[in-house]
A = this chain, B = another copy of it.
Amino acid sequence: MDGKATSAEIKEELKAKVEARITKGKKRPHLAAILVGEHGASLTYVNAKVKACAQVGFESSLVRLSEDISEADLLAEVEKLNENPSIDGFIVQLPLPKHVDEQKVIQAIDPSKDVDGFHPENVGRMALGLPAFLPATPAGILELLKRHDIETEGKHCLVLGRSHIVGSPMSILMARNGYPGNATVTIAHSRTKDLPSLSRQADIIIAAVGRPHFLTADMVKEGAVIVDVGIHRIADESKKSGFRLIGDVDYEELESKASAMSPVPGGVGPMTIASLLMNTLQAAEQRD
């Protein structure tokens, strides 16, 4: 399952929708991002989001703030974006510096502009099956499964990891009534016993454990569908950069065993960005 190609396909569709909006005299969707500090990976992620906005014809704004900004000042920046009518949706790139209460900042975001889907009201609406901004990574995985016609109804789906950003919402979304969904879902985590016997029963495995090459061929049954959410840098002298990216799944070992699999890089990552763009268009439509 090529996330890069699928994401490009979605971006083409979004671009056409933006053009149709402009023709009708509507505004371009406008995504803003707050980035605090100089954290390398965060800067990379935010830049990728800004670049993606340009590709589909969205406006974007990047608010860069100093690492030592006070919590109160950061909350004031959030409030400015809440009140700015030209901005349809915005994100606060995580993680935040330790002296800032991350939850407090997330909860300060107007839920109608919370295109990351992290505000409790959006999380609750998702859990209740109400219209909501779905968190970008789980939404991207659903889209990837859908666009590859992966059957999910009645399948046993194993979600590895119970984070608030991926594992937990993923388990809710795969179990709900609809497509993709209607799966029998098992959520496993660090306290799970005898994982291999569980994982060998799964038709679909979503690996979000945060450990390089955690899922190996002996843990998977023939023909399983595998989604890899992990992303890790490992040293590789053969590369110019000195490193390469690998996932939670041992891709090479599983390539011949899985019936479908998402690679790292080029799998879930680009789909996450595509979802963020889809959420931003949805936010713009709701404000029309």
A-side residues, CB < 8 A to B, are 103, 119-130, 153-154, 156, 162, 164, 168-169, 171-172, 175-177, 182-189, 191-193, 198
Contact = CB atoms under 8 A, between A and B. Distances in A.
Contacts of A188: 184
A121 to B, nearest CB: 5
Among A120, A125, A162, A171, max chain B CB count under 10 A is at A120
9 contacts: A120-B120, A120-B125, A124-B124, A124-B126, A127-B127, A127-B164, A182-B189, A184-B186, A184-B192
Contact of A127 (B123, B156, B185, B192): B123
A125 B121 CA distance: 8
Contacts of A183: 191
Question: Secondary structure at chain A's binding surface: helix, strand, loop or mixed?
Answer: mixed
A193 B124 contact: no
Contact of A124 (B121, B153, B182): B121
Nearest to A193: B154
Given A171-B187, A177-B189, 8 more contacts: A119-B124, A120-B128, A124-B127, A127-B168, A153-B191, A156-B198, A168-B172, A184-B191
B162 A176 contact: yes
Q: How many copies does the complex hold?
A: 2
A191 B154 contact: yes
Contacts of A184: 186-189, 191-193, 198
Nearest to A128: B164
A177 B119 CA distance: 20
Q: Which 9 pairs from chain A and chain B are nearest by CB?
A: A124-B124, A120-B124, A123-B124, A186-B186, A184-B192, A182-B191, A154-B193, A120-B125, A154-B191
Contacts of A122: 124
A192 B181 CA distance: 11
A178 to B, nearest CB: 11
Contacts of A154: 191-193
Contacts of A182: 189, 191
Residue of A119, A121, A156 with most partner-chain B CB within 10 A: A121
